[in-house]
A = this chain, B = another copy of it.
Amino acid sequence: MNIRVFATPREWTEDDVRGTTAIVIDVLRASSTIIQALSNGAREVVPVATPAEAGELAAKAGRGDVILGGERDGKMIEGFDLGNSPLEYTKERIAGRTIVFASTNGAPALVRCKTADHVLVATFNNYGAAVAAARSLGSDVSIICSGRAGKFSLEDFVGAGKLVEGIASQGAPLAHDGAQAAFDLFRYYRSQLTELVKNSYHGKYLATLGFEADLEHCAKVDTHPIVPALIEGKIRLPKSNGGS
């Protein structure tokens, strides 16, 4: 099983992920938020690239029938119902609902993955379950770091390295430079993931907006043993891992 890690959003094309299991990681915070929403009973999360597309989808579905979630610059978008803090996605707010989701980095990455055979959402919170899912699917793996406005994010690359450690066959050499670098960097940070998330550029930015609690939440490993999967434009929990 080949494992590749794409460090930045413009490094990969739809051809690069074709036929593989794509795993989209956006530690701060889209992956964490999508996992939290589905864990708390949301029916599905529909990722869109822009707030305008979210509005169009809401108009078609009926504005009252969907929840609009997402952010620009870390803040809730005007006219939306929820931002991009996982802690906002409580059972009371989202159980049974369809969430149309427009985050800056993770949502567009998910939208672009449509050539992959499988598209999974992962982060520290669902590490073990994501590893098990990728291994059981058996295809080559493309781990996609969502980054920040097209640029490199430390926390996503280290999170990707943790996934590499879990997915790679023990002792097998890594044939891909991005996978090797992410894995090595994860080993460097292994015992200090919370500090890593807090000291990342985006972590520090989110703290200035008052989201310190999100940073603690997003750095936790294996709190959510589920693996959201994107199928025909909708992110749901497959029946095998907690969906219905």
Contact = CB atoms under 8 A, between A and B. Distances in A.
Contacts of A8: 7-8, 10-11, 152
Nearest to A16: B151
A185 interface: yes
B185 A201 contact: no
Contact of A181 (B157, B177, B180): B157
Nearest to A147: B11
Nearest to A173: B199
A185 B181 contact: yes
B188 A201 contact: no
B201 A181 contact: no
A187 B188 contact: yes
Interface footprint category on A:
20 to 34
Contact of A177 (B6, B175, B189, B201): B201
A184 B176 contact: no
Interface in A109-149: 148
Contacts of A151: 6, 11, 177-178
Interface in A138-174: 148, 150-154, 157
A40 interface: no
Given A7-B7, A8-B8, A11-B152, 20 more contacts: A6-B152, A7-B152, A8-B11, A10-B10, A152-B177, A152-B178, A152-B181, A154-B177, A154-B180, A157-B181, A175-B201, A176-B201, A177-B201, A177-B202, A180-B199, A181-B185, A184-B185, A185-B185, A187-B188, A188-B188
